[in-house]
Structure 1
């Protein structure tokens, strides 16, 4: 590659990183969508899984993948106060590039709702996926849930607490594994002023904490955090969840990376930020190994 081309790419990468680092953890990540190719997927947009306008999802079906393909239902972060599925097209594209059907779901937010309504929505999106995803090339027997930040909380509650899928006549046994990126799993008493009203502070219910449901028989987990995360304490949350799941005999892979921040951990799924951490490779391997139940010698 000519030096001039390498320099140009370096400038683009550096500029992109500076922009993303300047974003708050849950700001719209427009820059990531701008640098993400749309050639890896076919998008089915604005599908209702409930009656509320926020109960909508998009499906990203790989253009070149064996059918049925494994499935990820992804929930974004935003302190349960903000977020739009359109901002996370880069997640659908990244996973589709690895042959994974990806569902990116909106859910109701504060102040429209408080705990536990957003968990009910997340479970309803997973229930929709279980019943409908075969129409989009997905394998309903290989559904994984994944989230970043508060979205990882949603994923954890759906995967671990049987109350939510039970509302659709299902159980967490339909989930082959769950993936948490910088998730809050044990955060009482609440300190973040944006989160306090979401969880009925000062009467935040103890049963709202995912770590309470880290029990024997839970689905396998891939837990990833930024080791210097300043927003969600990685030792208490990722470390605490991993320790409790392992003690219950649950298969867990626990990873910490020093380069990304809380915000850029999710950005590392796509070029030009993949050098920050091999998050996409780890997610791909976890899914292709069926949550660690089998081995994968050649992960793309």
Structure 2
């Protein structure tokens, strides 16, 4: 993917925020997260491995009649880096808007390769689904969400039924999915560090979310930065939106002119809300159902 230089060519977490927040950008952002907007329930196990855990962020007070809507969030990092503790700002942002947010770890390369991390994500989704009533969630308003490589994970769970079916669920169990700056059609893979994650040169065609965009797809929200130099928004999000619309799926495509690949997720943090109204748009999408 020459000129596209996706996260597959340059890495895909929020490290680029260093130019905004200093040497430890995520640490700085999370240090500013208020503690009076949410309740954090840490270290919930959805499997036996140390990486198979998630943190829950809940709004304060009693759940409304019918329960809170909920989002399960998967972070990016090219499937070889990332930690749920780094995304407290995402959990707090959604909880402050009356949405429960689970931030899940999943096993990374080289511990696992495709498709094992998708099985982890599916099991995390099953944990949320199974515990919905106990957790005060509205079982009719559960969503999958991710940024960058995490958006890929959310897309695959939402579009390719194999993974949720393996965890005893179906995509229709969820009210929709949200992908931010996601890679959905990225073969050939340029980044040598990512190639083994997908078994290069024998990358399975079915590993690409765009292959699974058909009439069975659930409601979709795709958010992209206009100046994304890591994941080409036209090839990935815009084309996926076209495929979903052609299949008859309800899809929302939002473009954010001031954001880049990293700050699109960073905009969930209060000091960076000005970058893009992505939190407002995600809240509206979740609460519309």
Matched, 1:257 2:236: no
Q: Which residue of 1 aligns with 2:64?
A: 66
Q: Which residue of 2 aligns with 1:45?
A: 42
* C-alpha distance in structure 1 between counterparts of 2:115 and 2:35, whole Å: 34
* C-alpha distance in structure 1 between counterparts of 2:160 and 2:191, whole Å: 24
Quote how far apart the aligned CAs of 1:195 are. 1.1
- The alignment partner of 1:136 has SS state of coil
Q: Which residue of 2 aligns with 1:31?
A: 28
Query: Any stretches of 5+ residues in structure 2 without a counterpart?
Result: 1-14
Q: Which residue of 2 aligns with 1:95?
A: 94
8 Å CA contact 2:225–2:257 kept in 1: the answer is: yes
Quote how far apart the aligned CAs of 1:19 are. 8.1
Query: Any stretches of 5+ residues in structure 1 without a counterpart?
Result: 1-17, 291-300
* C-alpha distance in structure 2 between counterparts of 1:253 and 1:178, whole Å: 11
- The alignment partner of 1:141 has SS state of strand
* C-alpha distance in structure 1 between counterparts of 2:282 and 2:245, whole Å: 19
Q: Which residue of 1 aligns with 2:130?
A: 131
Q: Which residue of 2 aligns with 1:84?
A: 83
Quote how far apart the aligned CAs of 1:287 are. 0.3
- The alignment covers a number of residue pairs equal to 271
Which of structures 1 and 2 has the larger relative contact order (alpha carbons within 8 angstroms, sep 6+)? Answer: 2
Q: Which residue of 1 aligns with 2:278?
A: 279
Q: Which residue of 1 aligns with 2:4?
A: none
Matched, 1:235 2:234: yes
* C-alpha distance in structure 1 between counterparts of 2:25 and 2:163, whole Å: 28
* C-alpha distance in structure 1 between counterparts of 2:174 and 2:132, whole Å: 14
Quote how far apart the aligned CAs of 1:261 are. 1.0
* C-alpha distance in structure 2 between counterparts of 1:246 and 1:32, whole Å: 36
Q: Which residue of 1 aligns with 2:8?
A: none
What aligned pairs does 1:82-161 form with structure 2 within 5 A after superposition?
82-161=81-160
Q: Which residue of 2 aligns with 1:11?
A: none
Quote how far apart the aligned CAs of 1:20 are. 2.2
Q: Which residue of 1 aligns with 2:182?
A: 183
Quote how far apart the aligned CAs of 1:269 are. 1.1
Once structures 1 and 2 are overlaid, which stretch shifts more, 191-200 or 102-111? Answer: 191-200
CA offsets per residue over residues 33-88 of structure 1, 9 Å max, x none? Answer: 11221211111111110111100011111104525100100000000000000000
8 Å CA contact 1:23–1:263 kept in 2: the answer is: no
Once structures 1 and 2 are overlaid, which stretch shifts more, 31-40 or 214-223? Answer: 31-40
Q: Which residue of 1 aligns with 2:243?
A: 244
What aligned pairs does 1:149-228 form with structure 2 within 5 A after superposition?
149-228=148-227
With structure 1 as the length reference, what TM-score do the two structures score? 0.87
Quote how far apart the aligned CAs of 1:135 are. 2.0
Please tell me whether Structure 1 or Structure 2 has the larger radius of gyration of its CA atoms: 1
* C-alpha distance in structure 1 between counterparts of 2:188 and 2:25, whole Å: 28
Q: Which residue of 1 aligns with 2:12?
A: none
CA offsets per residue over residues 232-267 of structure 1, 9 Å max, x none? Answer: 010000111100000001011101112111011001
Shift >4 Å, 4+ stretches: none
CA offsets per residue over residues 144-202 of structure 1, 9 Å max, x none? Answer: 00000000000000111100011122110111000000000000111122211100011
